[in-house]
Amino acid sequence: MNQLDQLKQFTTVVADTGDFEAMRAYQPQDATTNPSLILKAAGQEEYRHLVEKAVVESKNADLSTTIERILVLFGLEILKIVPGRVSTEVDARLSFDTRGTIEKAQQLICAYEKEGISRERILIKIASTWEGIRAAEILEKQGIHCNLTLLFSMAQAVACAAAKVQLISPFVGRILDWHKAKTGRDYHGFDDPGVQSVTDIYNYYKKFDYKTQVMGASFRNKDEILCLAGCDLLTISPDLLQELQDSSEDVREHLTAEKAKGMELHEIPLDENSFRLQFNDDAMATEKTAEGIRKFSADIVQLEEMIQAM
Protein backbone atom coordinates (compact mmCIF):
# COMPACT_ATOMS: atom_id res chain seq x y z
CA MET A 1 0.00 0.00 0.00
CA ASN A 2 1.06 3.59 -0.46
CA GLN A 3 1.72 5.72 2.61
CA LEU A 4 -1.67 7.41 2.48
CA ASP A 5 -3.49 4.08 2.62
CA GLN A 6 -1.20 2.88 5.41
CA LEU A 7 -1.80 6.07 7.39
CA LYS A 8 -5.56 5.57 7.11
CA GLN A 9 -5.15 2.30 9.06
CA PHE A 10 -4.03 4.25 12.15
CA THR A 11 -5.52 7.72 11.76
CA THR A 12 -8.63 9.34 10.31
CA VAL A 13 -7.42 11.37 7.33
CA VAL A 14 -9.07 14.72 6.71
CA ALA A 15 -8.64 16.95 3.64
CA ASP A 16 -7.51 20.48 4.48
CA THR A 17 -8.79 22.23 1.36
CA GLY A 18 -11.69 23.94 -0.34
CA ASP A 19 -10.92 22.11 -3.58
CA PHE A 20 -13.63 19.54 -4.32
CA GLU A 21 -11.57 17.68 -6.91
CA ALA A 22 -8.77 17.13 -4.40
CA MET A 23 -11.28 15.61 -2.00
CA ARG A 24 -12.51 13.21 -4.67
CA ALA A 25 -8.94 12.22 -5.52
CA TYR A 26 -7.76 11.38 -2.00
CA GLN A 27 -11.01 10.08 -0.47
CA PRO A 28 -10.66 11.54 3.04
CA GLN A 29 -13.19 10.79 5.77
CA ASP A 30 -13.78 14.45 6.65
CA ALA A 31 -12.84 17.88 5.32
CA THR A 32 -11.87 21.16 6.96
CA THR A 33 -12.11 24.68 5.62
CA ASN A 34 -11.07 28.08 6.90
CA PRO A 35 -11.50 31.67 5.65
CA SER A 36 -8.21 31.53 3.72
CA LEU A 37 -9.16 28.31 1.90
CA ILE A 38 -12.66 29.58 1.09
CA LEU A 39 -11.25 32.89 -0.18
CA LYS A 40 -8.80 31.05 -2.41
CA ALA A 41 -11.49 28.73 -3.78
CA ALA A 42 -14.01 31.56 -4.24
CA GLY A 43 -11.57 33.33 -6.52
CA GLN A 44 -11.34 30.36 -8.88
CA GLU A 45 -13.60 30.15 -11.90
CA GLU A 46 -14.86 26.64 -11.16
CA TYR A 47 -16.25 27.75 -7.78
CA ARG A 48 -17.48 31.20 -8.71
CA HIS A 49 -21.00 29.90 -9.28
CA LEU A 50 -21.32 29.14 -5.55
CA VAL A 51 -20.38 32.70 -4.65
CA GLU A 52 -22.79 34.07 -7.24
CA LYS A 53 -25.55 31.81 -5.91
CA ALA A 54 -24.96 33.06 -2.36
CA VAL A 55 -25.04 36.69 -3.53
CA VAL A 56 -28.35 36.16 -5.36
CA GLU A 57 -29.96 34.22 -2.50
CA SER A 58 -29.02 36.83 0.11
CA LYS A 59 -29.41 39.88 -2.14
CA ASN A 60 -31.30 41.96 0.41
CA ALA A 61 -29.34 40.80 3.44
CA ASP A 62 -26.17 42.13 5.07
CA LEU A 63 -22.65 40.98 4.21
CA SER A 64 -22.49 38.67 7.22
CA THR A 65 -25.50 36.73 5.96
CA THR A 66 -23.98 36.41 2.48
CA ILE A 67 -20.67 35.15 3.92
CA GLU A 68 -22.59 32.62 6.00
CA ARG A 69 -24.40 31.43 2.87
CA ILE A 70 -21.11 31.03 0.98
CA LEU A 71 -19.66 28.93 3.80
CA VAL A 72 -22.75 26.72 3.90
CA LEU A 73 -22.88 26.28 0.11
CA PHE A 74 -19.24 25.15 0.10
CA GLY A 75 -19.99 22.87 3.04
CA LEU A 76 -22.96 21.31 1.28
CA GLU A 77 -20.85 20.51 -1.79
CA ILE A 78 -18.13 19.03 0.40
CA LEU A 79 -20.64 16.79 2.18
CA LYS A 80 -21.61 15.31 -1.17
CA ILE A 81 -18.02 14.08 -1.46
CA VAL A 82 -16.83 13.09 2.03
CA PRO A 83 -18.73 10.46 4.04
CA GLY A 84 -18.05 12.17 7.37
CA ARG A 85 -18.02 15.74 8.59
CA VAL A 86 -17.13 19.20 7.36
CA SER A 87 -15.67 21.92 9.59
CA THR A 88 -17.12 25.39 8.98
CA GLU A 89 -15.50 28.36 10.68
CA VAL A 90 -17.13 31.15 12.65
CA ASP A 91 -16.02 34.68 11.66
CA ALA A 92 -12.59 35.18 13.27
CA ARG A 93 -13.61 38.70 14.28
CA LEU A 94 -15.84 37.05 16.90
CA SER A 95 -12.86 35.32 18.57
CA PHE A 96 -13.25 37.37 21.77
CA ASP A 97 -17.06 37.47 21.74
CA THR A 98 -18.60 34.45 23.46
CA ARG A 99 -22.23 35.41 22.82
CA GLY A 100 -21.55 36.43 19.22
CA THR A 101 -19.77 33.14 18.55
CA ILE A 102 -22.65 31.13 19.99
CA GLU A 103 -25.19 33.01 17.87
CA LYS A 104 -23.18 32.61 14.67
CA ALA A 105 -22.65 28.89 15.31
CA GLN A 106 -26.38 28.43 15.88
CA GLN A 107 -27.13 30.27 12.63
CA LEU A 108 -24.72 28.05 10.70
CA ILE A 109 -26.20 24.86 12.15
CA CYS A 110 -29.72 26.11 11.42
CA ALA A 111 -28.73 26.84 7.81
CA TYR A 112 -27.33 23.32 7.36
CA GLU A 113 -30.36 21.71 8.97
CA LYS A 114 -32.68 23.63 6.64
CA GLU A 115 -30.80 21.88 3.82
CA GLY A 116 -31.44 18.48 5.41
CA ILE A 117 -27.96 18.05 6.91
CA SER A 118 -27.74 16.62 10.41
CA ARG A 119 -25.72 18.63 12.92
CA GLU A 120 -23.72 15.44 13.55
CA ARG A 121 -22.01 16.04 10.19
CA ILE A 122 -20.94 19.59 11.04
CA LEU A 123 -18.08 20.83 13.19
CA ILE A 124 -18.12 24.52 14.02
CA LYS A 125 -14.58 25.90 13.98
CA ILE A 126 -13.81 28.41 16.72
CA ALA A 127 -10.52 30.04 17.74
CA SER A 128 -9.06 28.64 20.99
CA THR A 129 -9.33 31.87 22.98
CA TRP A 130 -10.82 31.73 26.46
CA GLU A 131 -13.98 33.29 25.06
CA GLY A 132 -14.09 30.82 22.17
CA ILE A 133 -13.66 27.85 24.49
CA ARG A 134 -16.50 29.07 26.70
CA ALA A 135 -18.73 29.42 23.63
CA ALA A 136 -17.83 25.87 22.55
CA GLU A 137 -18.67 24.51 26.00
CA ILE A 138 -22.18 25.94 25.74
CA LEU A 139 -22.62 24.83 22.12
CA GLU A 140 -21.58 21.26 22.92
CA LYS A 141 -24.35 21.08 25.53
CA GLN A 142 -26.76 22.02 22.73
CA GLY A 143 -25.53 19.17 20.55
CA ILE A 144 -23.51 21.52 18.31
CA HIS A 145 -20.06 19.98 17.98
CA CYS A 146 -17.00 22.18 17.79
CA ASN A 147 -13.51 22.12 16.32
CA LEU A 148 -11.26 24.44 18.34
CA THR A 149 -8.70 25.85 15.96
CA LEU A 150 -5.64 28.12 16.22
CA LEU A 151 -4.41 25.98 19.10
CA PHE A 152 -0.73 26.20 20.01
CA SER A 153 -0.36 25.37 23.70
CA MET A 154 -1.10 22.84 26.41
CA ALA A 155 -3.09 25.49 28.30
CA GLN A 156 -5.48 25.81 25.36
CA ALA A 157 -5.70 22.02 25.00
CA VAL A 158 -6.43 21.47 28.70
CA ALA A 159 -9.15 24.14 28.70
CA CYS A 160 -10.76 22.58 25.61
CA ALA A 161 -10.78 19.12 27.18
CA ALA A 162 -12.35 20.48 30.38
CA ALA A 163 -15.02 22.15 28.23
CA LYS A 164 -15.71 18.76 26.60
CA VAL A 165 -15.35 20.04 23.05
CA GLN A 166 -15.52 17.47 20.27
CA LEU A 167 -12.18 18.14 18.63
CA ILE A 168 -9.10 20.37 18.69
CA SER A 169 -6.76 21.31 15.83
CA PRO A 170 -3.20 21.97 17.07
CA PHE A 171 -1.23 23.76 14.33
CA VAL A 172 1.94 21.73 13.86
CA GLY A 173 3.54 23.71 11.05
CA ARG A 174 2.95 27.15 12.51
CA ILE A 175 4.64 26.04 15.75
CA LEU A 176 7.60 24.91 13.64
CA ASP A 177 7.62 28.24 11.76
CA TRP A 178 7.90 30.21 15.02
CA HIS A 179 10.76 28.13 16.40
CA LYS A 180 12.70 28.25 13.13
CA ALA A 181 12.35 32.03 13.01
CA LYS A 182 13.45 32.40 16.64
CA THR A 183 16.39 30.00 16.64
CA GLY A 184 17.58 30.15 13.02
CA ARG A 185 17.80 26.36 12.89
CA ASP A 186 15.73 23.68 11.22
CA TYR A 187 13.99 20.80 12.93
CA HIS A 188 13.25 17.32 11.62
CA GLY A 189 11.17 14.32 12.62
CA PHE A 190 10.52 13.88 16.33
CA ASP A 191 12.72 16.92 17.05
CA ASP A 192 10.06 19.12 15.43
CA PRO A 193 8.48 21.28 18.18
CA GLY A 194 5.08 21.10 16.45
CA VAL A 195 5.22 17.29 16.46
CA GLN A 196 6.27 17.35 20.12
CA SER A 197 3.38 19.66 21.05
CA VAL A 198 0.72 17.45 19.45
CA THR A 199 2.31 14.32 20.91
CA ASP A 200 2.20 15.82 24.41
CA ILE A 201 -1.45 16.85 24.01
CA TYR A 202 -2.47 13.45 22.61
CA ASN A 203 -0.73 11.60 25.47
CA TYR A 204 -2.30 13.89 28.07
CA TYR A 205 -5.81 13.34 26.70
CA LYS A 206 -5.43 9.57 26.52
CA LYS A 207 -3.78 9.29 29.93
CA PHE A 208 -6.72 10.99 31.64
CA ASP A 209 -9.49 9.65 29.38
CA TYR A 210 -10.56 12.96 27.88
CA LYS A 211 -13.00 12.36 25.03
CA THR A 212 -11.91 15.39 23.01
CA GLN A 213 -10.27 14.26 19.77
CA VAL A 214 -6.90 15.56 18.59
CA MET A 215 -6.52 16.51 14.92
CA GLY A 216 -3.04 17.66 13.93
CA ALA A 217 -3.19 20.46 11.35
CA SER A 218 -1.12 22.94 9.34
CA PHE A 219 1.67 20.64 8.23
CA ARG A 220 4.83 21.88 6.52
CA ASN A 221 6.22 18.52 5.38
CA LYS A 222 5.38 14.84 5.13
CA ASP A 223 7.66 13.84 8.02
CA GLU A 224 5.51 15.79 10.48
CA ILE A 225 2.52 13.73 9.41
CA LEU A 226 4.31 10.39 9.62
CA CYS A 227 5.65 11.18 13.10
CA LEU A 228 2.05 11.65 14.26
CA ALA A 229 0.67 8.42 12.78
CA GLY A 230 -1.85 7.13 15.30
CA CYS A 231 -3.20 10.56 16.22
CA ASP A 232 -7.02 10.59 16.25
CA LEU A 233 -7.20 12.65 13.05
CA LEU A 234 -4.80 14.54 10.78
CA THR A 235 -5.99 17.23 8.37
CA ILE A 236 -3.68 17.37 5.36
CA SER A 237 -3.34 19.66 2.35
CA PRO A 238 -3.62 18.22 -1.19
CA ASP A 239 0.09 18.56 -2.00
CA LEU A 240 1.08 16.51 1.05
CA LEU A 241 -1.70 14.00 0.41
CA GLN A 242 -0.16 13.53 -3.03
CA GLU A 243 3.31 13.00 -1.54
CA LEU A 244 1.91 10.32 0.75
CA GLN A 245 0.09 8.68 -2.13
CA ASP A 246 3.25 8.67 -4.25
CA SER A 247 5.36 6.85 -1.64
CA SER A 248 5.23 3.19 -0.62
CA GLU A 249 7.67 3.37 2.31
CA ASP A 250 6.47 1.82 5.56
CA VAL A 251 4.34 3.86 7.94
CA ARG A 252 4.61 3.06 11.66
CA GLU A 253 2.05 3.90 14.34
CA HIS A 254 3.72 6.19 16.89
CA LEU A 255 0.83 7.44 19.01
CA THR A 256 -1.37 4.98 20.90
CA ALA A 257 -3.66 5.24 23.91
CA GLU A 258 -1.92 2.21 25.41
CA LYS A 259 1.47 3.97 25.45
CA ALA A 260 -0.07 7.11 26.92
CA LYS A 261 -1.73 5.16 29.73
CA GLY A 262 1.67 3.96 30.95
CA MET A 263 3.21 7.43 31.13
CA GLU A 264 3.93 9.37 34.32
CA LEU A 265 1.84 12.49 33.75
CA HIS A 266 0.05 14.85 36.11
CA GLU A 267 -3.36 16.37 35.50
CA ILE A 268 -3.28 20.15 35.11
CA PRO A 269 -5.86 22.18 37.08
CA LEU A 270 -6.97 25.24 35.11
CA ASP A 271 -9.33 28.14 35.77
CA GLU A 272 -9.58 31.39 33.84
CA ASN A 273 -6.77 33.10 35.76
CA SER A 274 -4.33 30.21 35.39
CA PHE A 275 -5.29 29.78 31.71
CA ARG A 276 -4.57 33.41 30.94
CA LEU A 277 -1.29 33.36 32.87
CA GLN A 278 -0.02 30.13 31.28
CA PHE A 279 -1.10 31.24 27.83
CA ASN A 280 0.54 34.65 28.30
CA ASP A 281 3.77 32.98 29.44
CA ASP A 282 3.91 31.03 26.15
CA ALA A 283 5.22 33.60 23.67
CA MET A 284 4.85 31.27 20.69
CA ALA A 285 1.20 30.47 21.49
CA THR A 286 0.17 34.07 22.11
CA GLU A 287 1.91 35.34 18.99
CA LYS A 288 0.68 32.61 16.65
CA THR A 289 -2.91 32.70 17.94
CA ALA A 290 -3.07 36.47 17.50
CA GLU A 291 -1.45 36.24 14.05
CA GLY A 292 -3.93 33.56 12.97
CA ILE A 293 -6.94 35.57 14.10
CA ARG A 294 -5.65 38.64 12.22
CA LYS A 295 -5.03 36.62 9.06
CA PHE A 296 -8.43 34.90 9.05
CA SER A 297 -10.14 38.21 9.82
CA ALA A 298 -8.34 39.87 6.92
CA ASP A 299 -9.41 37.09 4.56
CA ILE A 300 -13.04 37.50 5.61
CA VAL A 301 -12.73 41.20 4.80
CA GLN A 302 -11.33 40.32 1.35
CA LEU A 303 -14.25 37.96 0.79
CA GLU A 304 -16.64 40.74 1.77
CA GLU A 305 -14.96 43.08 -0.72
CA MET A 306 -15.34 40.44 -3.45
CA ILE A 307 -19.05 40.17 -2.66
CA GLN A 308 -19.55 43.94 -2.67
CA ALA A 309 -17.91 44.14 -6.07
CA MET A 310 -20.42 41.59 -7.38
Query: Which residues are designated catalytic?
Result: 125
Q: What SS3 class is residue 133? A: helix
Q: How far is CA 147 from CA 14, 164, 201, 234, in A?
A: 13, 11, 15, 13
In whole angstroms, give the CA distance from residue 13 to residue 32.
11
In whole angstroms, give the CA distance from residue 170 to residue 157.
8
In whole angstroms, give the CA distance from residue 66 to residue 306.
11
Separation of CA 226 from chain center: 18
Q: What is the number of alpha carbons within 13 Å of residue 214 lying toward its C-beta?
A: 32
In whole angstroms, give the CA distance from residue 68 to residue 295.
18
